[in-house]
Structure 1
Amino acid sequence: MFLKSFRWAAVVALPVAATLGGAPASAQDDSLLTVPPAAGNLSGINQFCIDMFSSGQQPRVPFESRRDNAVRDENGVELVAPTITELTTASGVAVFPENPDYPNGDSYSTNPSNLIPTVYENIKSCRGNEIINTLPSTPDNPYNLHDDPVVTEIDKTSPTDDLDFIMDRIHVLSKPRKVCRNFRGRQHCYRYPRRVSQGDLRRLARHAVNIIEGNELQGRYADRAYEGFPLLHYLGGLKEKAVDPVTRSVTVNQIWYDTHIESDTAYIDPIAVDDDDEWYIKYNVKILNRGHEDFAPYMMVYDDPLELDLSDVGGPDLTQAGLAVPRIPNVGLDQTFFPMEEGLMYTLNMKMPPARFWNLTYHWGWRIHPPRVQVVENVRAVLATPNGPMPRNFAEIAVFGENPRESEASKLAAIEMIGDTAPAKRMWRMFRELGNMTTNRRPGRYFRGLNGSAVQAQLAQIREAFYDWSNRTQLPTGYEMGEGYDMTVLFLNNTIYGQLRDHDGIAQVSMSGRDVWDKRGDEVKIQLLNGDYFRHAYVLVDFGGLRGWENTFHNTLPVGGAGPLFTFGRNAFWIHVAGRGAIPIPNAVRPEQVTPTPLTSAMDQLVGFKKGNHHWTDALYSAMGGTPDTMSDYVNTDGVGEHSLNVIFSYEPSRRLRMYQFDALHHDTAVWSVH
């Protein structure tokens, strides 16, 4: 059980059939049964790492305890997967005593109980050896881990800007004509549908599809800084890079705009630098419109797997006689907190610790957090599966293929794995319909082109999907929070949408002042939903509330930044599902029939249509046609996978972040953190 940071076998071995979760779990729910505890207890190595070797590490704690409604045989083997889980962090253990000055467990006081003294040194391994490049900032050198960025001017136009422009152009092309006539001294005005040029509509729609798919762009959109970064998250099989053994460096390209961080890299293979020396991630970070932010890559570091045979001092051998690579939580840290401005690309080289320590780097922006997040993982930090250890990206490749861009068929097959209710896929589908729209008749002198009413109706639905895509701090059209939950986490488009109870979907996603989780013993009821056609797996991580956090950053307010007000600093992280594994959320079930859009509905109404004829009753051509139905009627959420989770917290939250939630199998942009 020490071979990995998560247990995955339960995730990938469960049946594919979706089940519904039902009501939220409750600590008083007698229908839930105790889940057999995980073997081992990492708190047992504290006496060696802390007491014997004086490493200065924060204490490790027991794994979580769980109850659920699964059906198991007499040997504890799961026969029917659970739909409700109750999880108690660290099996109820807390590292810090309750603060007598703050009986309600106020972590936002001037002296939080889980704030530990800042030490301006590199962190240490279990045996007290220094782990290089783990001190991000000091009073003398505020940017301790990277060189001065090289700054280059770029075109700051974002996908949001160009999609908005395309929709505006389609609106102008298709808006009704207004005609006014004077009769007996009075003016009478009326509107009738404008005829839309098929060629103009097709060109605009295809530009939009190319943006959404991340294809090569043409015309006015050519050479955009965002070219190649799709809105649909289906390219995971192509997002692995290897560290160059000569330069000891790998290049990561990112774009930051609106609520988004997109990267061409989600996995790095550092095998070429598997030694005791440092290596580098070279970042090219492009800040597009509305992307102003502080660059804050948060790195998670394991303990040294080469030191964890403790049998020489009377302890356990976590390496199993050298047959296993133990990856146990140590420390996470913001590597920098550097202000970035729109219209500029920042190139910098980030120093990394030896590759065996590196778990992942979590890029985040506090101004819109979540959803402004993106993760790059160590592909060599393997996942355990029923078929043996697998690289971190095995699930991405299994779902989307090794090269979704190999052919048009490969691309469409990959995109089809994304749920139809995903806002980006809704836009993609409806733009494709507009691009393929035809009158199916010979051009004539009158009524040439397409009926603008049908185009306007389709455009209204595209706009709604566009707004849904733009905001992941609330649930998209068609979804609602279940009754009794504090939070809903929705896996969709290989990312995460979420919503807090009574949150307006605009303000920072924060539990502060919401009477949800302020002190140890509080419960948070979470509704987990999956709208994609593949399995997701929920993971909950703590950033120092349980084991402690320190603040190592300086004030960047004078130069447009915000540290140390918002940085995570450095903290002893803990994985709340490490004992029994990530919580799987069943995939959505495909509808038997695709939900109609205004355009497909209009096509279905062409009764008695003949080539060359025009019918005033046909929705595509009639002056009265194309009126949109209620927006949500075009988003069918039947068949969505669901799981109900109740978390009982044994500690006060960290001031920096309460809950780091992500998808174990498809990390990248699938993160939804709560302050």
Structure 2
Amino acid sequence: MKMFRKSIRLAAVMALPASVMVGGAPAWAQTPFDLNMFCNVSGHANGGQQRRVPFETRTTVGNATTLLTADGDAVFPEGDSFGTNPPNMLPTIYENAKTCRGNEIPNTLPSTPENPYNLHDDPVIRELDKTSPTDDLDWIMDRIEAMSEPQQICRNFRGTEHCYSYPRRVNPGEMRTLARRAVDIIEGNELQGRFSEREYEGFPLLHYLGGLKTKVVDPETKSVTVNQLWYDTHIESDAAYIDPIAVTDEEWTIKYVVKILNRGHEDFAPYAMFFDDWTELNLTDLGGPDLTAGGTAFPRVPNIGMDQTFFPMQEGLEYTLNMKMPPARFWNLSYHWGWRQHPPRVQVTENMRVPLRNGALRNTAESGVFGENPRASEEAKLAAIGMIGDTAPAKRMWQMFREMGGMTINSTNKHFGGGLNGSIIQAQMHLIRQAFDDWRNRGRLPTGYEMDPDADVTVLFLNNTIYGQLKGHNGDANVIMDDGVWDKRGDKVNIQLLNGDYYVHAYVLVDFGGLRGWENTFHNTLPSGGAGPLFTFGRNYFWIHVAGGGPIPVPPAARPEGAPNSPINDQSWQVANGNGVVPSNFEFAWGGMQQEMNDYVNVDGIGEHHLEVEFSYEPSRRLRMYQFDALHHDTAVWSVH
């Protein structure tokens, strides 16, 4: 029997860079679409902005939502996005992006004929040990499997050889040491022995450290350092949030230190999203509304996004470069991605000062679930990890290695000759290998999950990240939608949303220029071996398809019976949270009324919601759907090409 729990309303599950109703504003200036009559929307080709469109139309019944993008509006005539003349492709213009009033936004021209990498200096490069967590975990598993492999004996009897095997005796001390080293890698602890001083030390496989991943821009240097690891399908960063309050009105830099470990070869492409200039949005001089409410509100209107560079990086090297940024009042986030493994090779760093719906700082959603310092004590660490679903591949590995790390000889596991029975260890290692393989590939659903047969896309929130699967796709290559699913306006895509974690996730769908246009960039990087113009998202006019009604909440999974509940601080969701912020000051930043969460859990105890999207436009040929978690962004992205 399917389980239903009481439907609840989360008053402020909002973390979406969208625009919405302005309290007290005239009816003709209620949405970004209405700004078209006041802004310079003469078009990108004419040095202005692309016009904005209405919010989506959506209906929710039970745990199913239907959504029509932009209320059926389209900016361009019908055409073939994948043909020789895409209707939504804009001419490349070597100028900075513009604000509503036509003023330039500094540092928004990523490439020019004179300077192909226009926004950063030449990287400083050093060699490094490129061993990755994957390599060391694989080595540990090889050792445990070898020491527990069945022993084979062959004997000759009357000219016929007879072979048989029996369980090998395993030294419990050596096995426990190896298992504990694996736990240290998965938790991101200080490493010992042959694993000490690894470049990846401190970067866990379990995503529970968000409360510690906020950095502050130095007011003197006007810079902040972000460290990243790239390996396999992973990008891990020590910064999920940046506090740029010191440079609200000043240009600044992000100093990237990027380490490319084994199988991490890629083009470095931070895609930055920028708002319009809120200081210009008192439009009373034009006969319009004052969207700043006399300087007390900070309306963040979607404007433009761009790959800031597309710089090739090689394995075994560390790259240090300084990325130029416009004044921080424009900046929403930087989405780091790699086209060779996309998704899941993604990671996002957000502007902490762009608030949640209730006015709370953006990083409070993460610290509310996992605590401000999960490293403060063993108890704090286990409570934080306890919020991650038990079906997550990294957590399955963690649980089984922890069990092996504490294993002692008893009547059920002892070997008749002393030590541990190797057959029991072999059985455990089979399950660990299965979890390891699931962890390595977020392009398909992990073991135990299946797509709804009616879904075109399944999005699974798990381990504070996203696993996903396309119908008919095996997950072994880049996630590219089959022809005919969504190629033209009017096509519908059915999306199954699942949540295996023990806290709320919030689904967001964003367009990267299919609706409002995109320009190809980095043409001039080809002579130096760059792949920019072949794969870049370019510079585009992004739009958020859940801006009108807010992110779609996906309820948490049910904990296994008898499992202890980890404490969760839900203050970040409450409108009246005692922080003295007036919610109406932030309504323009975070979308409209929060959608009510239907607290539906399926027969497997997994939170579930269904979404059908009808697209009113043709997709961009570079990216069809940017999907992410509004509350816990970081690595929780799953995009579809």
Q: Same fold (TM over 0.5)?
A: yes
Distance 1:219 1:559, change over 3 A: farther
Quick one: distance in 2 between partners of 1:464 and 1:637?
23
Q: How far is the alpha carbon of 1:445 from its aligned partner?
A: 11
Quick one: distance in 1 between partners of 2:472 and 2:28?
36
Aligned to 2:501, which of 524, 532, 550?
Answer: 532
Tell me the residue number matched to 1:519. 488
Tell me the residue number matched to 1:59. 51
Aligned to 1:399, which of 359, 369, 372?
Answer: 369
Aligned to 2:236, which of 262, 273, 283?
Answer: 262
Q: How far is the alpha carbon of 1:556 from its aligned partner?
A: 4.0
Aligned to 2:84, which of 99, 110, 113?
Answer: 110
Does structure 2 conserve the Cα–Cα contact (< 8 Å) formed by 1:486 and 1:524?
A: yes
Tell me the residue number matched to 1:508. 478
Does structure 2 conserve the Cα–Cα contact (< 8 Å) formed by 1:114 and 1:547?
A: yes
Q: How far is the alpha carbon of 1:41 from its aligned partner?
A: 2.5
Equivalent residues in 2 for 1:354-503, closer than 5 Å: 354-385=327-358, 389-440=359-410, 447-503=417-473
Q: Is 1:173 aligned with 2:147?
A: yes
Q: How far is the alpha carbon of 1:52 from its aligned partner?
A: 9.0
Equivalent residues in 2 for 1:222-241, closer than 5 Å: 222-241=196-215
Alignment length, in residue pairs?
Answer: 581
Kindly report the root-mean-square deviation, in angstroms, between the aligned alpha carbons of the 2 structures. 2.1
Aligned to 2:285, which of 296, 309, 312?
Answer: 312
Distance 1:445 1:297, change over 3 A: closer
- List per-residue Cα deviations over 1:603-644 (Å, max 9, x = no partner): xxxxxxxxxxxxxxxxxxxxxxxxxxxxxxxxx981100000
Specify which structure has the bigger relative contact order, considering alpha-carbon pairs within 8 angstroms and separated by 6 or more residues.
Answer: 2
Aligned letter for 1:164? D
- List per-residue Cα deviations over 1:475-519 (Å, max 9, x = no partner): 000000002110100000000000000011112101142x10000
Quick one: distance in 1 between partners of 2:415 and 2:214?
55
Q: How far is the alpha carbon of 1:49 from its aligned partner?
A: 0.9
Q: How far is the alpha carbon of 1:554 from its aligned partner?
A: 2.0
Equivalent residues in 2 for 1:586-605, closer than 5 Å: 586-593=555-562
Equivalent residues in 2 for 1:328-367, closer than 5 Å: 328-367=301-340
Q: Is 1:43 aligned with 2:33?
A: yes
Quick one: distance in 1 between partners of 2:475 and 2:28?
38
Q: How far is the alpha carbon of 1:555 from its aligned partner?
A: 5.0
Which is higher, the Rg of structure 1 or of structure 2? 1
Tell me the residue number matched to 1:91. 71
Does structure 2 conserve the Cα–Cα contact (< 8 Å) formed by 1:478 and 1:637?
A: no
Tell me the residue number matched to 2:262. 289
Task: Among all aligned residue pairs of Structure 1 and Structure 2, give the percentage whose two residues are the same amino acid.
Answer: 72
Quick one: distance in 2 between partners of 1:507 and 1:311?
52
Aligned to 1:568, which of 518, 537, 541?
Answer: 537
Q: Secondary structure at the match of 1:224?
A: coil
Aligned letter for 1:93? D
Does structure 2 conserve the Cα–Cα contact (< 8 Å) formed by 1:299 and 1:334?
A: yes
Quick one: distance in 2 between partners of 1:379 and 1:188?
69
Quick one: distance in 1 between partners of 2:93 and 2:613?
32
Q: How far is the alpha carbon of 1:13 from its aligned partner?
A: 5.6
Q: How far is the alpha carbon of 1:188 from its aligned partner?
A: 1.1
Distance 1:564 1:445, change over 3 A: closer
Tell me the residue number matched to 1:609. none
Equivalent residues in 2 for 1:541-580, closer than 5 Å: 541-554=510-523, 556-557=525-526, 559-580=528-549
Q: How high is the TM-score relative to the length of structure 2? A: 0.88
Tell me the residue number matched to 1:652. 618
Quick one: distance in 2 between partners of 1:323 and 1:121?
32
Q: How far is the alpha carbon of 1:559 from its aligned partner?
A: 4.5
Does structure 2 conserve the Cα–Cα contact (< 8 Å) formed by 1:49 and 1:55?
A: no
- List per-residue Cα deviations over 1:353-397 (Å, max 9, x = no partner): 001000000000000000000000000011113xxx011111100
Distance 1:83 1:637, change over 3 A: closer
Q: How far is the alpha carbon of 1:440 from its aligned partner?
A: 3.6
- List per-residue Cα deviations over 1:181-222 (Å, max 9, x = no partner): 121222111111011111110110011000000000011101
Aligned letter for 2:461? F
Q: Secondary structure at the match of 2:640?
A: coil
Distance 1:544 1:11, change over 3 A: farther
Tell me the residue number matched to 2:158. 184
Distance 1:142 1:458, change over 3 A: same
Quick one: distance in 2 between partners of 1:568 and 1:150?
26
Q: How far is the alpha carbon of 1:552 from its aligned partner?
A: 1.9
Equivalent residues in 2 for 1:5-24, closer than 5 Å: 11-12=10-11
Tell me the residue number matched to 2:108. 134
Q: How high is the TM-score relative to the length of structure 1? A: 0.84
Quick one: distance in 2 between partners of 1:510 and 1:592?
39
Distance 1:46 1:59, change over 3 A: same
Q: Secondary structure at the match of 1:475?
A: coil
Tell me the residue number matched to 2:185. 211
Aligned letter for 2:537? F
Distance 1:458 1:38, change over 3 A: farther
Aligned letter for 2:138? D
Aligned letter for 1:202? R
Q: Name structure 1 gaps, 5 residues minimum.
A: 1-8, 15-36, 70-81, 99-104, 595-635
- List per-residue Cα deviations over 1:380-418 (Å, max 9, x = no partner): 011113xxx011111100100000000001000000000
Q: How far is the alpha carbon of 1:561 from its aligned partner?
A: 3.3
